[in-house]
Structure 1
Amino acid sequence: MNPKRFILIVCFMSLTIRAQDTIIDSDYDWETLKATYTLHYYKHLTTANFKQFQSGIAQMSLVDVSYYGYDHKVHRGQIVCHQSVAEELQSIFRQLLWIKFPISSVIPMSEFNFDDHLSMHNNNTTCFDFRLKTLKNGWSKHAYGIAIDLNPRQNPFVSRQGVFPDNALSFLSQGRIRADDFKGMQVIRIFAMYGWRWGGYWSSSKDYMHFQKNSLPAN
């Protein structure tokens, strides 16, 4: 289906959701949140890496997203991402809401003291996280705001070194993403329409929570 046509259908269906029924999980303003991020990384990064962080944070946006919770209610969360993917992430979340794909929470990393382990243990969905790759050298796509980890506990990172997060739930639990599952395949296809690749297709390891853009758009 054409992505634009699908978006129109989703927007029409979204009109049935009353704003007053939405549960607000996160309500930051971007300038305040950006200052919190900057102060944290100023304290924890080397001078060279902090300069790289400053360059990156200037290209980020704070995006409000609506999603279907495990309580069968509509929630509003917030996600920090690169400006170039902000609109398409909003569209992706609208489509995930329409198919009622359950999401645990979508809250900025500051709520977890910028601790990736803690965020994942709490099954929190995030995008921008200024960190290195898992088990590899170099900056993660998360550091550029072009990767998202969705329901980490249901969709763990699996490699020869083990499973992460270590409190991962059964693969059969709700909110999982699998190519052999109908709703999971819907999620994969929704992201794919916008050029986001799924880590579950990787060969050496499997990152079931992970979707990423391969690169930033050319200026």
Structure 2
Amino acid sequence: MGRRILILLWILPLCFFMGSCKKNDTNDNLITINSDMYIDENDKYNGVMEMTEDNMKNIDNGNNDEVIAAGKTNVLKDIEDTLNTEDTINNIKKLSAGTVINVTEFGSEIIDSLFYFQELDRSIIDRIYGKSYKENCDVPYSDLRYVRVLHTDFEGQTRIGELIVNKAIAQDIVDIFKELYSISYPIEKMLLVDEYDANDLKSMADNNTSAFNFRFVEGTTRRSNHSDGLAIDINPLYNPYVRTKDNKLEILPENGAEYADRDKDNIYYIKKDDPCYKAFINRGFTWGGEWKNSKDYQHFEKINN
């Protein structure tokens, strides 16, 4: 008899505990998210879809439309869209500079994410060492930033552009090219000058927009501000460097001679108060087209940071 009483005393609390663990009688489909959070038809948590067993079955069977038709928030679709956006961004970032991309289906989130700068990683250092980053270069890698942007080429296509600039102007450069891209300002090419073996004349002759290059000013022993990544040349073929040397007019690149006359109309000319000029000047840059002793129409620099 005493043994039966002991068994009953052990079983009764257990039954009481099990009874308290039953699903809510008013909603057999209620699912416990955690110990103190339940979601049902009348209790939405932060707008999340009601995770009933029927809805879970619909999702498991790929019938998300049934959930949407029932007026639920399609959480999985939101997650899928987010993942697709991230995948798209990451895939584009893997493309080489100069690649044409179709942006007609892209929203502002994707477009904005493709304007950015980063520290120089090993792959970039390997690309520039011995070229734009000469063996005697005294600029620390940590002072430089690799910039990626989008630009509109002369055919109206969107291309990926790349530059290396000083970290002091990296954000300015990103903002400037985002502004220029928003108005479809034409820039033909934008590749690291290393694609031309850091030969500035070859890069200019090919109308390539570039920035960092550890070098001296052409025809002088004076170090260029490009050496510190504080200067950039835009559409250099159509905006040549012009000066008088030994009573002789010198134009660089040489194939840009026909564009030295700035009184002519040309949509690729940089002129005072045009959109390109304003984008740089408004951020504290100076323009080589306003120099006194020479004119460097392609050139913007910012050295007082």
TM class by smaller structure: 0.7 to 0.9
Task: Tell me which amino acid in the other structure corresponds to 1:63.
Answer: V
- Residue matched to 1:164: 252
Task: Find the residue that maps to 1:67 and give its secondary structure.
Answer: strand
What CA distance in whole angstroms lies between the structure 1 residues aligned with 2:161 and 2:172? 16
CA 1:100 to 1:118, structure 2 compared with 1: closer, same or farther past 3 Å?
Answer: same
Q: 1:105 offset after TM fit, Å?
A: 0.6
When normalised by structure 2's length, the TM-score is 0.56
- Residue matched to 1:132: 216
In the TM superposition, what whole-angstrom CA distance separates every residue of 1:94-131 from its partner, at most 9, and x where no partner exists?
11112221001110011111111111111000010100
What CA distance in whole angstroms lies between the structure 1 residues aligned with 2:177 and 2:286? 16
What CA distance in whole angstroms lies between the structure 2 residues aligned with 1:158 and 1:91? 29
Contact 1:154/1:174 (<8 A) preserved: no
Identity of aligned residues (%): 26
Task: Tell me which amino acid in the other structure corresponds to 2:252.
Answer: F
Q: Structure 1 unaligned segments of length 5 or more: list them.
A: 1-17
When normalised by structure 1's length, the TM-score is 0.76
What CA distance in whole angstroms lies between the structure 2 residues aligned with 1:173 and 1:65? 25
* Map 1:145-184 → 2, pairs under 5 A: 145-161=229-245, 162-168=250-256, 169-170=258-259, 171=262, 172-179=265-272
- Residue matched to 1:35: 126
- Residue matched to 1:25: 97
Q: Could you tell me which of 189, 192, 215 is aligned with 1:105?
A: 189
Task: Tell me which amino acid in the other structure corresponds to 2:126.
Answer: A
Aligned-pair RMSD on alpha carbons? Answer: 2.7
4+ aligned runs moved over 6 Å, structure 1: 18-23
CA 1:131 to 1:187, structure 2 compared with 1: closer, same or farther past 3 Å?
Answer: same
What CA distance in whole angstroms lies between the structure 2 residues aligned with 1:100 and 1:57? 32
Task: Find the residue that maps to 1:55 and give its secondary structure.
Answer: coil
CA 1:71 to 1:56, structure 2 compared with 1: closer, same or farther past 3 Å?
Answer: same
Contact 2:132/2:194 (<8 A) preserved: no
- Residue matched to 2:285: 196
Instruction: Give the aligned length.
Output: 187
CA 1:159 to 1:116, structure 2 compared with 1: closer, same or farther past 3 Å?
Answer: same
